[in-house]
Amino acid sequence: MATVAVRAESERKKKSMLWDYLTTVDHKKIAHLYFWTGLFYFLLGGLEALLMRTQLAFPLNTFLTGKSYNEVLTMHGTTMIFLVAMPLLFALMNAVVPLMIGARDLAFPYVNALSYWLYFFGALVMHIGFLTGNVPQGGWTGYMPLSLPEYSGFGMSYYAMGLQLSGLGTLLTGINFVATIVNMRAPGMTYMRMPLFVWTTLIASILIMFAFPPLTAGLFLMIYDQLFGGQVFNVAGGGNVILWQHLFWIFGHPEVYIVVLPAFGIFSEVIPVFSRKRLFGYPAMVVATALIAFFGFMVWVHHMFTVGLGPLANGIFAVMTTIIAVPTGIKIFNWIATMWGGKLRMTTAMHWSVGFIFTFVMGGVTGVMMALPPADYQYHDTYFIVAHFHYTLIGGTVFSIFAGAYYWWPKMFGRLLNETLGKIHFWFFFIGFHMTFFIQHFLGLWGMQRRVYTYLPGQGFDLANLVSTIGAYLMAIGVIVFAINIVYTFVKGKPAPADPWDGRTLEWATKAPVPEYNFARLPLIRGIDALWLEKMAGHKEMPVIEDYHDIHMPNSTVLPFLMSLTLAIAALGFIWKEEFNHAFLYMGIGGIVLTLLVMFFRSVIDDEGYHIPKAEIEREEMKGVSV
């Protein structure tokens, strides 16, 4: 393969920042893209939450009623799950997983860029409804037949198309990370030496691979029924609305683990570093993660206990659901045991971790309560459920994203976030969170229904709702402090050293800032906590297996952006053909043809990447030593 060009730095064209990010296939830059986009939607989804809490602050409030409330409710849920939780986790995965396993990039850098742009345009398609006046309003679960145009207009078509696009991106990300972790590990990085975040990324990616296709199928059928006269969910045509619930929850329950397993992984990285101890019970953690994933596909009916599938189905799924509590409990004990007797450093990341253990246990306990069908008939569709899943999703996923952001910020952006502001952020958010959601358990038990835009005075809901709303504003203050912290860090922050936390895993062995090829020479891994092992043996850096040589890099390309753009055009065309004018059908078909055309170009043009010359790499590495 002598055809691959060697291009020195001077020959590589200097690109503008916009074009650079538009065409990049570098996992570190794609991590930035995921992070900022996810953060934007986090603010948007948070704003929607505030609107809802404002409406619910007082009985019979008229701030946001009826249809508007339904729209905000739907967009809040959909945004937070699909456009915030997963992308922000992908940001952290992209930023550190290749570094943790000693790889120079993901297995498919091109597909990685494609995944991001599909997510970007999927999110955009979902929000186009705000311009055309048809905002999704059928709930984030998109139940049938409520999501058909007769009942909720074409808003849910934007939901379906948007999710279809971003879901395709997510599926490709899942495949990409599995292939990367299986194939691209550095020498000596056996499976049982991988950091736990890599393990949870691997298993969450496997869950993505198997859980997203049922959603894709369900969304196709939804789109057929909404836009092409399909009858699958139309009872008059022989259809069955329960099918949607099955397909959605076969996806939906593993989805819960897709967003929470990587969170467990992040805490399993943060807690050992700031306890100065290795993770307690590493093999048990791995097995527990795998078990959660395995059982995750046998529990979906616990979202459907009140559908009336009969005592046998409910019984089986109740048993499977309670079983899942066991591996999760093992993990909790392992984290506590890791901290036990350790030299704790209460950094901001550690604050989030301890806060997580406390909060997540509460969410887990209510989860076991709801796993029992007779009791679930009482909790179903009340604020008890709302409280439960916010305890797990915020207490698990959001806390982990904040922990990961404070912990890996120096690796991602080369600076350290301010710790004082970080702790202010934590305390506002933590207290606000418990104020908002703890009381909602009781609201639910007292009989307040979820998804309803108001309630009557004098039912005993008034004070509790006001407390909950005040809590939500405290959380908002916390997030604003985080935003200030980010700005402050970019303006005033000093460059971070390569290993600011005295880290244990391989990502801290890379230089600051991480060069685009990650490792000038591939490292040799000699055990769990590879870097810590070398530190204890008195070595300054990782042993390497090769001399400096030309490093092969993939070319950057604008095709992923174009492919996603054309698919988004197709999606909008198909919606608009029903919403406005049948002529938009041609826009839909045209979009598909253009997508195929882009794929054709991708296929026929040889793209073998280029080599960064050895001399340049040596020069860069020497620079690093002097600092």
Partner 1 sequence: MTTTHPNAMSDIEAHGHERSAEGEVQPTIELVTQEGKNKQLGVWLFIAAESVLFASFFAVYLALRHSIPNGPQPKDLFELPLVFVMTAILLTSSFTSVMAVMNMRQLKSSAMKGWLVLTWLLGFSFLLLEIYEFNHYVHMGHTFTSSAFGTAFYSLVGFHGAHVAFGLLWLMTLLLRNARREITPYTAPKVYSFSLYWHFVDLVWVFIFTIVYLMGKVG
Partner 2 sequence: MSGESSTFKRPDRREIRSELKVQTTAFAVSIFLTILAFGAVVYAIEQGASQGFAVSFIIALAIVQVAFQAYIWMHLKDKGHGVPQLFFYMAVYVTAMTVIGLMFMSWWSA
Q: How far is 151 from 144, CA to CA, in rounded Å?
A: 10
Name the one range near partner 1 by CB under 8 A: 74-82, 133-141, 205-213, 300-308: 205-213
Q: How far is 454 from 457, CA to CA, in rounded Å?
A: 10
Site string for partner 2, 291-320 (x = CB under 8 A): ------xx-xx------xxx--x-------
Residue 586: both structure tokens together: 């041609």
Q: Give which of 568, 557, 546, 570 is closest to 621, Cα–Cα.
A: 546
Name the one range near partner 1 by CB under 8 A: 221-229, 405-413, 419-427, 471-479: 221-229
Give the HSE-up count for residue 221: Cα atoms under 13 Å, Cβ half-sphere.
23
CB count, 10 Å around CB of 182? 11
SS3 content of the chain, % helix, strand, coil (to 5): 70, 0, 30
- Pick from 27, 53, 104, 351: which binds partner 2 (CB under 8 A)? 104
41 or 249, CB closer to partner 2? 249
Site string for partner 1, 469-498 (x = CB under 8 A): ------------------------------
**What SS3 string covers 97-147?**
HHHHCCCCCCCCHHHHHHHHHHHHHHHHHHHHHHHHCCCCCCCCCCCCCCC
Residue 212 binding target from partner 1, partner 2, none, CB below 5 to 8 Å by type: partner 1
Q: Give which of 13, 137, 10, 113 is closest to 65, Cα–Cα.
A: 137
Q: Is the CB of residue 98 less than 8 Å from the CB of residue 517?
A: no
Residue 544 binding target from partner 2, partner 1, none, CB below 5 to 8 Å by type: partner 1
246 or 577, CB closer to partner 2? 246
- The site for partner 2, by CB under 8 A, has a size of 26
Residue 309 binding target from partner 2, partner 1, none, CB below 5 to 8 Å by type: partner 2
Residues 162-191 touching partner 1, rule: CB under 8 A, are 171, 174-176, 178-179, 182-184, 187-188, 190
Residue 107 binding target from partner 2, partner 1, none, CB below 5 to 8 Å by type: partner 1
- Pick from 52, 126, 232, 412: which binds partner 1 (CB under 8 A)? 232
Give Cα separations from 102 to 96, 282, 544, 571 (angstroms).
10, 20, 11, 39
The DSSP H or E segment spanning 531 is helix 530-536
Q: How far is 87 from 222, CA to CA, in rounded Å?
A: 24
Q: How far is 160 from 154, CA to CA, in rounded Å?
A: 10
Coil, helix or strand at residue 553: strand
What's 544's DSSP letter? B
Site string for partner 1, 504-543 (x = CB under 8 A): -----------------x--xxx----------------x
Residue with tokens 């691959």: 4
Q: How far is 387 from 440, CA to CA, in rounded Å?
A: 5
Q: Give which of 336, 371, 341, 370 is closest to 354, Cα–Cα.
A: 336
Residue 458 binding target from partner 2, partner 1, none, CB below 5 to 8 Å by type: none
Site string for partner 1, 248-287 (x = CB under 8 A): --x-------------------------------------
Residue 301 binding target from partner 1, partner 2, none, CB below 5 to 8 Å by type: partner 2
Determine if 214 is a binding residue for partner 2 (CB under 8 A).
Answer: yes
- Pick from 19, 151, 228, 358: which binds partner 1 (CB under 8 A)? 228
Coil, helix or strand at residue 612: strand
153 or 252, CB closer to partner 2? 252
Determine if 4 is a binding residue for partner 2 (CB under 8 A).
Answer: yes
Determine if 604 is a binding residue for partner 1 (CB under 8 A).
Answer: yes
Q: Is the CB of residue 25 less than 8 Å from the CB of residue 554?
A: yes
Determine if 596 is a binding residue for partner 1 (CB under 8 A).
Answer: yes
- Pick from 5, 546, 581, 593: which binds partner 1 (CB under 8 A)? 546
Site string for partner 2, 165-194 (x = CB under 8 A): -----------------x------------
250 or 354, CB closer to partner 1? 250
Chain-centroid distance of CA 163 in Å reads 14
Give exposure, 50-60, as e/b (b: 16+ Cβ within 10 Å).
bbbbebbbbee
2 or 17, CB closer to partner 2? 2
Determine if 210 is a binding residue for partner 2 (CB under 8 A).
Answer: yes
Beta strands in 405-550 (DSSP E): none
- Pick from 14, 60, 150, 238: which binds partner 1 (CB under 8 A)? 238
Determine if 210 is a binding residue for partner 1 (CB under 8 A).
Answer: yes
| Dihedral pair phi/psi, residue 448, rounded to 5° | -80, 125
Site string for partner 1, 95-134 (x = CB under 8 A): ------------xx--x-----------------------
Using N-to-C axis directions, what is the helix angle for 196-227 and 282-295, rounded to 10°?
10
Residues 242-261 touching partner 2, rule: CB under 8 A, are 242-243, 246-247, 250
The DSSP H or E segment spanning 551 is strand 551-553
- The site for partner 1, by CB under 8 A, has a size of 58
Q: Which residues bind partner 1 (CB under 8 A)?
A: 1, 107-108, 111, 171, 174-176, 178-179, 182-184, 187-188, 190, 209-210, 212-214, 216-218, 220-221, 224-225, 228-232, 234, 236-240, 243, 247, 250, 521, 524-526, 543-547, 549, 596, 600, 603-604, 606, 608
Q: Which residues bind partner 2 (CB under 8 A)?
A: 1-2, 4, 104, 182, 206, 209-210, 214, 240, 242-243, 246-247, 250, 297-298, 300-301, 308-310, 313, 552, 608-609
